[in-house]
Structure 1
């Protein structure tokens, strides 16, 4: 059974198999356009800060603590 998906950039059908060199994209052009969108931050993965700076201060953590090397 051959799986067919839509190219995320142009929506053309793409066969999902070993012969599809740029899957899930239909071409190198679409792949590079998508890469450029990520590089220019048109796409982003949302991040929620679970720990606020205030909480870290209350717990006694200093920014320099995060860059210490193990001796």
Structure 2
């Protein structure tokens, strides 16, 4: 599973990295540090990844089975 964060949609609410602290972190401006990236979700963190995606009010986080080369 892969988690992608759309940099244009991310508004820095911080709900994603608070929901998934073992997977995501914040940067010095309060945005998710992985903004604009696609990261592989370790097998044991899929539920945490889903919680992060569900927590984003902007819908900036998407989950995919395969990596998306456009993210």
Same fold (TM over 0.5): no
* Higher RCO (CA 8 Å, separation ≥ 6 residues): 2
The structure that is strand-richer by fraction is: 2
TM-score, length basis structure 2: 0.23
Structure number with greater Rg is: 1
Structure with the higher fraction of residues in helix conformation: 1
